[in-house]
Amino acid sequence: MNKISAAHLQVGSAGVVEKQFHTFAEPPHELTLESGARLGPITIAYETWGQLSEKRDNVIMVMHAFSGDSHAAGFYEEDGVEAKPGWWDSMIGPGKGLDTDTYFVICANILGGCMGSTGPSSVNPATGSPYGLDFPMMTIGDIIETQKALLEHLGISTLHAVIGGSVGGMQVLEWCVRYPEMIRSAIPLATTMRHSALAIAFNEVARQAIMADPRWNRGNYYGAEPPDLGLAVARMIGHVTYLSDEAMRRKFGRRLQNKTNVSYGFDVDFMVESYLRYQGSKFVKRFDANSLLYITKASDYFDLVERQAPARSIQDICGEATKFLVISYSSDWLYPTYQAKELVQALKRANLDVSFCEIEADCGHDAFLIPDARLGKLVGGFLDGVPRN
C-alpha cells in the first residue's frame, strides 16, 4: 500500500484487488455448450469488492464488454505507482453507484476471453498446445453457464443485481432469461436484445481484417508473430463505432496532429488518424486476435427474440419478479435508443417491472464507460428500491 500515492487511493477507492481463479468442468464432466460441443476444464478469472453478507444476499454481478476483463475497479498492488484503476472504477466503491459498503460486487472475465479465463489462447489439454480455432464456438448463454458455475462455487444463489453495458448488457439479459428466479434486478446498459445487421456488419469487417493478416495463419499463431496489423485495423473499426459523429467533431474536428499544414502524403495528418492508430497499436499489446473473433461471433449470434428451441426467449420470463432498469445513451448509434425501447416493450409485454432512461450524452456507445455522476445516482437509487428478499 505504501507504494500507492494518495491520488491513486482516491480514484481506486474500491481498494486493492487480486485476480482469483476458479476451475471446473474437469473431464469427464465437461460443460456441454450451446453448439453441442463439450469443453473442459474451464477456468474463470474473477475479482470481488466489498463483503459478502452472512445471508449471501447482497451480491451484484458486473458483466464486462467485449474487450474488458475482471479488473472492474480498484488497483493491483503489484502495479505500484503505475497502478491504473479498473475499467468501471467510477461506479464501484464506497458510496458509488455500486456501493461496496453495502454490496459484494463480482466481475468475471468471460469465457473465450484472454484475461485469465479459458479462451482460444488457453492450452488445449488434448494437445498440450493453445486451442486456436479448435476452441469450440461459444455463445452468450455459455458465458452465463460459466458464471453460474462460479457463483455455485462461491455458494451464491441469489443476485441482488446483474449489470453491464454493450456485450455485458447482453449477458445481463441472458442471465434473466436463463435464471430469472435467481435475479432480483437487472440493469442492461447501451445494449440490445438482438444484434442488428449493422452491428453484425462491423463485427464481420473486424473479423475479416484479422483473417486477412497472413500472420493469423488460421488462428495458429501462438508462439509466433501474432496478427497485430490485422488486429489493430479491427480495433480501429471498433473505435469508430464506439464514438459518435458529435463526439468526434468535438474531440478532433479537422485539427491537425502537430502540424500547420497537411503532409500531402500518407503519414498522420489529422488528430483523429493519430488517435485511431494509437488505439490500434495499444490494443494489440493486451488482446488476443482469436478472442476477438470468438466474442464478436457470440455477440452476432445473440438474439433473445427468435431462438431455436429449447432455448428460452424473452417472453419466457413472463411475470417473473426481476425488476429492470434499461439505460440507453442518446448518441449511441451501435445500440441506439430505439433498440432499448424495443427491449422495454418486450419486457412490458412479458408483464415485467421495467424502468427506462435515455441518458443525454454526446460521446456515443462509449458513454457507459465514461465517469458520469448521473449514472451512479441513477443506478444507486434504483438498487435501493429493490427489495432484499
Which spans of this chain sit near a second copy (rule: CB under 8 A)? 35, 37, 133, 136-137, 194-198, 200-202, 204-205, 207-209, 211-214, 229-230, 232-233, 236-237, 240, 243, 245, 248-249, 251-254, 261-262, 264-266, 269-270, 272-273, 276-277, 280, 293, 297, 300-301, 303, 306, 308, 333, 336
Under a CB-based contact definition with an 8 Å cutoff, are residues 224 and 332 in contact?
no
Closest CB to a second copy among residues 149, 211: 211
Is the separation of the CB atoms in 101 and 108 below 8 Å? Answer: no
Q: Which of 166, 185, 299, 328 is catalytic?
A: 166
Q: What is the DSSP string of 223-273?
A: TS---HHHHHHHHHHHHHHHS-HHHHHHHTTT-BSS-SS--SSSS--BHHH
* Residue 332 annotated among the catalytic residues of the structure: yes
Intra-chain end-to-end CA distance of the chain, in Å: 37
Judged by CB, which is closer to a second copy: 147, or 244?
244
Residue 184: CB minimum distance to a second copy, A = 31
**Rounded alpha-carbon distances, angstroms, from residue 322 to 53, 60, 178, 346, 382:** 21, 14, 12, 14, 13
Least Å distance, CB 324 to a second copy, is 23
Cβ contact 140:298 at 8 Å: yes
Tell the smallest beta-carbon distance from residue 128 to a second copy (Å). 24
| DSSP-assigned letter for residue 379 | H
Cα–Cα distances in Å, from 381 out to 48, 123, 174, 207, 376? 22, 44, 24, 40, 8
Query: Smallest distance from the beta carbon of 133 to a second copy, in angstroms?
Result: 8
Give the burial class of 77: count Cβ atoms within 10 A of its Cβ; 0-12 exposed, 13-18 middle, 19 or more buried. Answer: middle
Scanning the chain, the segments in alpha helix (DSSP H) are 6-11, 140-153, 167-178, 197-211, 228-242, 245-251, 271-283, 289-301, 337-349, 373-384
CB 365 within 8 A of CB 166: yes
In the annotation, is 195 catalytic? no
The H or E element containing residue 157 is: none
Which of the residues 244, 365, 366, 372 is marked catalytic? Answer: 365
Q: Which is nearer to a second copy, 132 or 169 (CB)?
A: 132
* From 99, 213, 288, 332, the catalytic residue: 332
The angle subtended at Cα 328 by Cα 324 and Cα 330, nearest 5°, is 155
Cβ proximity to a second copy, 62 vs 232, nearer residue? 232
C-beta of residue 206 within 8 angstroms of C-beta of residue 292: yes
Beta carbon nearer to a second copy, 109 or 337? 337
Smallest distance from a second copy to CB 234, Å: 9
Q: Measured from the CB atom, is 35 or 51 closer to a second copy?
A: 35
* C-alpha span between 171 and 316 (Å, rounded): 16
Q: Is 321 helix (H, G, I), strand (E, B) or coil?
A: coil
**Residue among 256 and 386 whose Cβ is closer to a second copy:** 256
Catalytic residue status for 57: no
Q: How far is the CB of 11 from a second copy (least distance, A)?
A: 29
* Lookup: cell for 117: 479465463
Nearest 5°: phi and psi at 196? Answer: -80, 165
C-beta of 350: minimal distance to a second copy in Å? 20
Residues taking part in catalysis: 166, 332, 365
